[in-house]
Structure 1
Amino acid sequence: MAEEASITASPPSPPPFVEVSCKISGKNYRFASGTKAEFAVALINRKLGLVNPRVIYIEAVKEGDEPISFGPHADLVDYGHNWKLNAVNDANHPGTENSDGVPLQIPRKIPSASSGPDDSKSERRSSSPEAKKGLSPVYIGKTLVAFVLMLVLGALFTTALENLPLLISLLNSSM
C-alpha cells in the first residue's frame, strides 16, 4: 500500500502559464508557457498605450543570482521557486543614459502581436527610413535621368535597326 501511494504521488506539475510583472503598470501579465518573449513585450507595450517608458525585454530574476534575459525569439519559461519574470523598461535599463544623464533613444522594433513570420519582411521594408520620408527630390531626379537614358538608348537602337539594311547592302557590294 505504501508503494502505491508513493507511485501515485507525483511532484506538482508546473502551471500552464507564466506571470510577467511590469513595474510601469504595476500589473502582472499572464502568458501561456512557451510564449515568445517578443510577443509578450509587444502585448504589454500595446496595453500600456502611449506611456513612456516602454518595455524592451523580459528577464528572470532571483535574489542572489544573475538575471536571465530572454531574447525576442526565446520561449518564456518558469524557472521554479523564487524566480520571477520581470518586464524591463528603458528607464531602468542600465546604459540608456549618456555621460550627462540624458536618456538615449534606443532604436527598436516593436512588432504587432498579430504579425507572423510572413509579415516580418514587409514590416522591415516599410519601416526603413526611405519609406517614411516619401518622395525626395534626389529620388525623383534619379528616376528622370534613368528615363532619359532609356529614351536615348531606344533612339540609338531604332536608328541602328533602320539603317541595318543599308549597312548590309554596302558590305555585300564591297565584297
Structure 2
Amino acid sequence: MAEKSTASPTPQTPSPLPRRRPSRVQYVEVECRSSGKTRRFAANTDARSAVEVINMRLKKEEVGLPAALHIEAVKDGEEPIVFGPNSILVSYGDGWKLQTVTQADLFPTEEIRDRDVGRISKQAFDSGVLHPKKRASKPFRLLYILKIVFAFIFIFVLAAIFTMFLDYLPELILFVK
C-alpha cells in the first residue's frame, strides 16, 4: 500500500555570508545653518541626497530661508572639508561637525549676494541640487526695435557718404594738383 511520508522540518543552514555587525555610528548628524535644526541621515548617505532632503524640508516647513548649497565638515582652527555631491557623509570625530553652507555664507555682503550668484554657485558646486533662477524672458520692446532700425539706417547713410566720397575722389585729386 501507499506509505505515508512525513515531512521533517528542514534544518536551517547557516548563511554563507558572514553577518555584519552594526557599526558604532549608524547615523550622521548635519546641522542646517538656515533653520538651526540638526538632521540625521543614515551612515552611507551621499551628500547630494542629504542636501536635497534638507532643501525639501526647508521649502516645506520653513518658507523663506536660504537653501543649502553643499555640506562641509568644520572644526575650530581647521580648514573645512567640503563634501562633493557624490561623497558619502562621514563623521570625523571629536570637535568636527557637519553643517550646510548657503549662498549667504559664501557671499556675506549684500552687494555681492545681489549679483549673479546663481551663475557663480552653479559653476562652483555643480551638484544637481542647485537650480539658479531662470531669467524671465522680456518681450521685445518698441524702443529696442527702434534702436535696431536706427542702427541699420545709420549704416546705410554712412555707406552712402563713403560711396559719394569715392565717386568724387578723382575730381578732388585733380583739383588739388
TM-score (norm 2): 0.50
Q: Partners in 2 of 1:102 and 1:29 — Cα distance?
A: 27
Q: Residue 97 of structure 2 is aligned with which of 84, 92, 107?
A: 84
Q: Residue 34 of structure 1 is aligned with which of 29, 39, 44?
A: 44
**Secondary structure of 2:54's partner?**
helix
Alpha carbons 2:104, 2:113 under 8 Å: kept:
no
**How many residues get paired?**
102
- Which of the pair has more CA radius of gyration? 2
Q: Please, which runs of 5 or more residues in structure 2 have no aligned partner?
A: 1-22, 123-127, 138-177
Q: Which residue of 1 aligns with 2:141?
A: none
Q: Specify the code of the residue in structure 2 equivalent to 1:22.
A: C
Q: Partners in 1 of 2:113 and 2:104 — Cα distance?
A: 11
Q: Partners in 2 of 1:73 and 1:102 — Cα distance?
A: 27
Q: Specify the code of the residue in structure 2 equivalent to 1:103.
A: D
CA-CA distance at 1:97 after TM superposition: 6.0
User: Is the counterpart of residue 106 in structure 1 residue 118 in structure 2?
Assistant: yes
Q: Residue 66 of structure 2 is aligned with which of 40, 48, 53?
A: 53
Q: Partners in 1 of 2:49 and 2:113 — Cα distance?
A: 29
Q: What's the CA shift string for 1:58-80, capped at 9, x where partnerless? A: 00001111100000000000101
Percent of aligned positions that are identical: 40
**Secondary structure of 2:40's partner?**
strand
CA-CA distance at 1:102 after TM superposition: 4.2
Q: Which residue of 2 aligns with 1:7?
A: none
In 2 relative to 1, CA 81–14 (structure 1 residues): closer, same or farther, beyond 3 Å? farther
**Secondary structure of 2:82's partner?**
strand
Q: What's the CA shift string for 1:7-56, capped at 9, x where partnerless? A: xxxxxx63210000012111000001120000000000000005341100
The two structures, once aligned, show a CA RMSD in angstroms of 2.8
User: Is the counterpart of residue 68 in structure 1 residue 87 in structure 2?
Assistant: no
Q: Partners in 2 of 1:71 and 1:51 — Cα distance?
A: 25
